[in-house]
Homo-oligomer: A and B are copies of this chain.
Amino acid sequence: MTKTRVAVIGASGYTGEELVRLLLAHPGVDLVAVTSRQLAGKSLTKVFPRFAQNKKAIGLKFSNPDAKQLASDVRIAFLALPHGLAAEFAKPLLSAGARVLDLSADFRIKDASVYREFYGQDHPAPDLLGQSVYGLPEIYRDQIRDAQLVACPGCYPTSILIPLRPLIRRKAVDRQSILVASMSGVSGAGRKVEADYLFVECNESVRPYGVPKHRHLSEIEQELSILAGEQMVIQFTPHLVPVNRGIVTTIYANIASNVVNIDPAIIFSGAYGEEPFVRLLDETHLPDTKHVVGTNFVDIAWRIDQRTNRLVLMSALDNIVKGASGQAVQCMNLMLGLPETAGLL
C-alpha cells in the first residue's frame, strides 16, 4: 500500500514535536518533510534526541521550503505555527491542492470580527474561513472526512465541548448557567522563552490567568452556540499548574428547570458509547491527568449535586495530544479513510 506523504510545518514547538512523534509511528503515512525557519538544515534527530534510533527519522532534516514546493510533494500538511502565520502558509498550500490541518487558531473562528476582537489583529485570510471545518471528530466527523482545511480545536475547547455537547443538544442544562474552571500544564504555553514560564516561576506556583476573557472563549462560545442553536455566553477561567502536560476542566451547569430525573450516564453513553477516544468514568472515579497524559483519550466524569440541582462535569486530557496533535492525527485518519484510531492507540 502506498503511504500518504505528509509534512509538519513549524515542527520546533511542543505540538510540532508531538506530531512528528505520532506521524513517525503511524502505519498509514510517510512523514517526508519537517520545516522550521530557525532550525532549517539541522537533522531532526539532533534537535530531538528521542527520535535518534527511529529509522524513519534518521534521514529527516529540518527544511524551509516554500509552500508551492511543499504542496507538490505532500498531500497533507500540518501547520504548527503561531496564529497569523498559519493562515499565510495555508493559502498557497490549499491553492496548490494540499489538504491542510491547522493547529493554530486561524481557522477556528467563523467570524473575522470575532477573530479581530480576541486576537487583536485582522484575519489574514478571511475568504478561507467559510471552507474550514472545526476539527473535533466527536462533533464534525463527517465534514472532516471531506475537508480540505481543518481547524484543529484548542486544548481548553476540547476539554469543555466534549463534556458539554450532549447536554446542550438535549437541552438538559440551563444555557445561561455554564461556568468553567480549567487547570493546564505549562506546555500549554508552547515553547515560549518568557520569564513567566521559567521553571522557578512555575514550580510551586498555581495561578489563574487570562481572566475574564481568554482567547479560547471565542471558539468555545461559537461551537456551543452552534450546538444550542442560539447565542451562548459562558464563564471560563484557566489556571496554570506545575505539570508538563495535562488539562483538568471542571464545569458547573444548572439542570434545566423542565428536566426531571436526569441520568447523565444514559446521556453520555448514548453520545459517546462508541467513541474511540472518549472514556466515561464510573461513579467511583474522577478524572486525573496522569491517566491520560501521552494518550489521545479524554476522560469524563459527572456528579449531580442534589442540594443545588447542578451538574458537575469533569474532564481530563493531554493538551498536546487530544488537545492538539493527537486530535489532528485523528482528523487526518478520517480525511484519508484510515481507521480513526490508526497510530493513536
Contacts and interface: CB of A to CB of B under 8 A. Distances in A.
Interface string A301-334: 0011101101010101000000000000000000
B212 A200 contact: no
A194 B197 contact: no
Interface stretch (A95-103, A105-113, A137-145, A231-239): A231-239
A50 B316 CA distance: 12
A244 B276 contact: no
Interface in A168-217: 179, 181, 183, 185-187, 191, 193-195, 197-209, 211-213
Contact of A252 (B179, B239, B245, B246): B179
A207 B288 contact: yes
A36 interface: no
Of the four ranges (under 10, 10 to 19, 20 to 34, 35 or more), the interface on chain A belongs to 35 or more
Interface string A268-301: 0000000011010100011111111111010100
Most chain B Cβ neighbours within 10 Å, of A14, A191, A206, A243:
A206
A195 B207 CA distance: 22
Interface in A234-274: 234-235, 237, 239, 241-248, 250, 252
A237 to B, nearest CB: 5
A297 B53 contact: yes
B243 A205 contact: yes
Contacts of A14: 200
Interface of A: 14, 49-50, 52-54, 179, 181, 183, 185-187, 191, 193-195, 197-209, 211-213, 233-235, 237, 239, 241-248, 250, 252, 276-277, 279, 281, 285-295, 297, 299, 303-305, 307-308, 310, 312, 314, 316, 345
12 contacts: A49-B285, A49-B299, A50-B295, A52-B279, A53-B297, A53-B345, A200-B244, A204-B204, A206-B248, A212-B305, A237-B314, A294-B294
